[in-house]
Structure 1
Amino acid sequence: MTASPRWDTPADLTRPTDRRGVPGSRVEVVIGVLTFRRPDDLAALLPVLLEQAAEADRPDRRVGVLVVDNDPQASAGGVVDELGSPLVRYVVEPTPGIAAARNRVLDEADGCTFVVFIDDDERPRPGWLAHLLRTQQETGAAAVAGAVVSAFEGPLDPWVRDGAFFSRRRLATGTAIDVAATNNLLLDVAAVRAAGLRFDAAFGLSGGSDTLFTRLLAASGARLVWCDDAVVTDSVPSSRMTRGWVLRRAFRSGNSASRVDLVLAGSAPARSRARLRGARRGVPRLAAGLARWLLGCVVGSAAHRARGLRTACRGAGMLTGSFGVVYHEYRRAGAVPVAGS
C-alpha cells in the first residue's frame, strides 16, 4: 500500500509535543477519514485534504491524512494508491460499524496531538483546518466542532424543503457545547486518553456513538467549543433527499438519544428514571407532531405536515429507545449487532 505519512514515522511520534505551542515542540495532526464503498467521494476529498494539510503545515506542526476503510474487501485501497501521496496512510478496519472505524482512527493516531474527523462525502471550505486549530489554540478546548452545510445532488422534494430538514445549528465561534458529531470535529488526543474514552461498539450499526462519546468527554470536565468558521459542505445524494429517509433519520436520532441517556445514567435506579424521562419526552413529541401534521392537513401547510411528521417520528424513536429497542440504521447484510445494541 501507500507509504506512511510523516506524522506516522517513529521519529515524529517520539518527538515531544505541547498543545500550547512551546518553542521547539512538534504538534502532530492527523485528519481521519472514514469510508465504506464510496471510492468516487474519497477520490474527490483526498486532494482537498492535502491542500488543507499544506496550508496548516508549519515547522512546528505536521499534518497527515489517515483513511480508515470499513470494507473488509479494501475497496478504497486503489484510490489511495492512485493518489500516491506520502502524507496519506491507508488502513482497513474489518469490524463492521462506524464506532469500530472511529476507534481505529484513535488507535492509529496514538502519539499524535490532534485528531480531526471528517466524512468521506464532505468537502472542507478554504481555511477549514486552520480555523479548527486556531480555535483550539485560543480556547485550549479538548474538542472543537465545526459547521456543516448541505449541497444537494438535485432539486429537493418540496415537502423536504419546506420541512427545513437539512438545516443545522450555527453558533458563534468559541461558544461552549456539550455534544458534537464527528463529521467535523477536532479532538485533543491527550484529553481523550485522560478521560479513557472509546466509541461504544453497541452504537456501531445504529449511530449515536459520537453523541455518547462527546457527552462523556464533556461530563469528564473537558471543554468543548464551537468554531463557526470551520465549515464543511455535506454532499447529499438523491437517496437521502426523500421523505422516507428524513423520517427514518428522525426516528433513529430520537432512538439513539434515549439510548445514550440510558448509558449515561449508570446505575439501575438511574436507568429506570432515564426510561421514564425518555417516555415523558417521547410521548409529547409524538402527540404534538401528529397534531401539527393534522393542522397542516387542515390548513394546507406543507411545512406543518412535514415538521409535524418529523417531530412525531423523533418522539416515537425516543419512546422506543428508552425501553431498549434499537434501530440499526447502518446494519449490513451478514453483520451481527454487538450484544446490548
Structure 2
Amino acid sequence: MSDITHPGVRPTGEEPAVGTPADGLVIAVLTYRRPEDIALALPRLAAQAGTSHPPAGQAGPEQEPLDGPAGPPATVLVVDNDPEASARPIVEQLAGTLRPGLVRYVHEPRPGIAAARNRALREAASSALLVFIDDDEVPSERWLAQLVGLQRSSGAAAVVGPVISEYEHAPEPWIEAGKFFHRRRLATGTRLDVAATNNLLLDLRQVRDLRLSFDERFGLSGGSDTLFTRQLVQRGGSMLWCDEAIVMDRVPSSRLTRGWVLRRALRSGNSAIRVNLELAGGATARLGARGVALGSGSARLVGGSARLAAGLISGSAQHQAKGVRTAARGLGMAAGAFGYVYSEYRRK
C-alpha cells in the first residue's frame, strides 16, 4: 500500500507540516485498535474543524465559524498508537471524502498513551491551540466553539470540558449504585488543579513556556495527564472549566463489569500516588509523601471494607459498591507507597 492514498494523510516518519497559521488549532484524537470508534467520531470532529474556518464562500447560517469569518484554521490529527497501524485504512477512507488537508494521520508505534500524547504535541507545534479528545467520545454540537471561546476570553493555559457517559447497554444495578461512570460538573470558569485529556484544550505557547510534556514513564500505567496538568498549574498556568463543552463517552459492555470498574479504581489510586511522589521533589519530601500515601490508602482500605460489610448486612447495593470501590482505590494507594506500579494499559 502506498504511504499516502488521500490528500492530508501523512505516513509515519515525516516531519510535521510547516507554515501552519499562527492561530491554527489541532484536534488530536489518539487511538489504539478501535476502528469502529474512529469511524464514528472522525466525521463529527472533521465537521467541527471544517466549520471553524470554512473555505471562502462556504460559510452560512448553518456553518458558523468559531469567531466570525476569521475563526482559527483547524485540522483533525489522528495519532495511531497501534504498532500495526490498524487505524490507517479507515482514516484514509474517511479523509478521501473530506476537504483536502482537513484530516491528518500519523503512526506512533511506541507503546503507551504518553508517547501518543507527546506525538500530538510535536505534530501541533506550529499551531496555537491543541485539543485532546478520546477516540470513543463524540462531541456536542458547539463543543469546539465553547472551548475556544473561553480560552480566548480568559487567556487560560488550559480549558477542560465535561464527559458524560452513554452505555452500550443498561449497566447492572450494582454499577449504577456505585456511580462508577458519573463525572464532575462545575460552573464555567471554575479553576482546576488537575484534569484528564479526554476533553482538554491547551494553549501551546504557554505549554512551551512552562516546559511541559507528558512523562512517558506513565505510558502504560496511566496518570501522565494527571502529572501534566498538575505541573501546568504548579508552574503558574491557569486551567478553567467550561461546562458547555460537552463530549459523550460511549461505554462498551466490556467495561460494564465489576472487575473492570474495580481495576480502574485500583489504578486510579495507584497512579495518583505515583504522581504525588513525582511532584514531591527531594528524598525527604518523597519519604514523607510515601508515609502520607500509606496512611491515606490504609484508611480508605479499612473504611471501604467497613462500608462494604455494612452494605452486605443491610442489603444496600450503594454501600456495597461504593465501599469496595473505596477499598480498591485505597489498596492502589497503599501499594503505590511501596513503589508498586499497576500497568492497566500493559500490552502482550
TM-score (norm 1): 0.92
CA distance in 2, matches of 1:167, 1:276: 30
Q: CA offsets, 1:256-294, max 9 Å, x none?
A: 000000000111111001101101211111100000000
2:27 is equivalent to residue 31 of structure 1: yes
How far 1:109 moved relative to its partner?
0.5
Partner of 1:42: 38
Could you say which residue in structure 2 is the equivalent of 1:61?
Answer: 72
Partner of 2:60: none
In the other structure, the counterpart of 1:139 is 154
Residues 147 and 245 in structure 2, CA contact (< 8 A), matched pair in contact too: yes
Q: Does 1:127 align with 2:136?
A: no
Whether contact under 8 Å (1:145, 1:225) holds in the other structure is yes
Q: CA deviation at 1:175?
A: 0.4
Alpha-carbon offset, residue 56 of structure 1: 2.3
RMSD across aligned C-alpha pairs, in angstroms? 1.1
Q: Do 1:34 and 1:101's aligned partners in 2 also have CA atoms closer than 8 Å?
A: yes
Q: 1:10 aligns with which of 8, 18, 22?
A: 18
Structure 1 segments of 4+ aligned residues over 3 angstroms from their partners: 8-11
SS in 1 for 2:189: coil
Q: Do the aligned residues in 2 keep the contact of 1:146 with 1:185 (CA within 8 Å)?
A: yes
Give the whole-Å Cα distance in 2 for the aligned partners of 1:222 and 1:10.
27
Alpha-carbon distance between aligned partners in 2 of 1:265 and 1:172, rounded to the nearest angstrom? 30
Aligned to 1:314, what secondary structure does the other structure show? helix
Residues 18 and 126, structure 2, Cα contact 8 Å, conserved in 1: no
- Tell me the TM-score normalized by structure 2: 0.90
What letter matches 1:240 in structure 2?
Answer: R
Distance 2:205 2:32 in 1: 28
**Residue of structure 2 aligned with 1:323, choices 317, 338, 341:** 338
Give 1:60 deviation, angstroms.
Answer: 4.8
* Residues 195 and 220 in structure 1, CA contact (< 8 A), matched pair in contact too: yes
Ranges in structure 1 where 5+ consecutive residues have no aligned partner: 18-26, 334-341
In the alignment, the residues of structure 1 paired with residue 273 and residue 86 of structure 2 have an alpha-carbon distance, to the nearest angstrom, of 35
Of 193, 204, 207, which aligns to 2:208? 193
Q: Which residue pairs with 1:174 in the alignment?
A: 189
| 1:253 paired residue among 268, 285, 308 | 268
Quote how far apart the aligned CAs of 1:9 are.
4.9
Deviation of 1:54 (Å): 2.4
Q: C-alpha distance in 2, partners of 1:243/1:179?
A: 27
> What secondary structure does 1:186 align onto?
strand
Deviations along 1:287-326, one digit per CA (max 9) or x if unpaired, are: 0000000000111101000000000000011111122100
SS in 2 for 1:66: strand
Contact 2:52 2:71 (C-alpha < 8 Å) held by counterparts: no
1:309 is paired with a residue whose SS is helix
Q: Is 2:84 the counterpart of 1:80?
A: no
Contact 2:27 2:76 in 1 (8 A): yes
Q: Distance in 1 between matches of 2:162 and 2:325?
A: 22
Given the superposition, is the C-alpha separation of residues 227 and 60 from structure 1 closer, same or farther in structure 2, using an over 3 Å criterion?
closer
Q: Percent identity?
A: 57
Alpha carbons 2:267, 2:342 under 8 Å: kept: yes
> What is the distance in 2 between the residues matched to 1:184 and 1:151?
16
Match of 1:34, SS?
A: strand
CA shift at 1:158, angstroms?
A: 1.0
The residue type paired with residue 158 of structure 2 is A
Deviation at 1:138, TM superposition (A): 1.4
- Match status 1:89 vs 2:104: yes
1:308 aligned counterpart, secondary structure: helix
Maintained 8 Å contact 1:55/1:130: no
1:291 aligns with 2:274: no
Which residue does 2:175 correspond to in 1? 160
2:226 to 201, 204, 211: 211
1:267 maps to which of 282, 293, 305: 282
Kindly indicate whether the alpha-carbon contact (under 8 Å) linking 1:31 and 1:64 is maintained by their aligned counterparts in 2: yes
Which string of whole-angstrom CA distances, capped at 9 and with x for unpartnered residues, describes residues 125-177 of structure 1?
11000000001011110000000000000010111011111110000011000
In the alignment, structure 2 segments of 5+ residues that lack a partner are 10-15, 54-68
Counterparts of 2:38 and 2:258 in 1: how far apart (Å)? Answer: 27
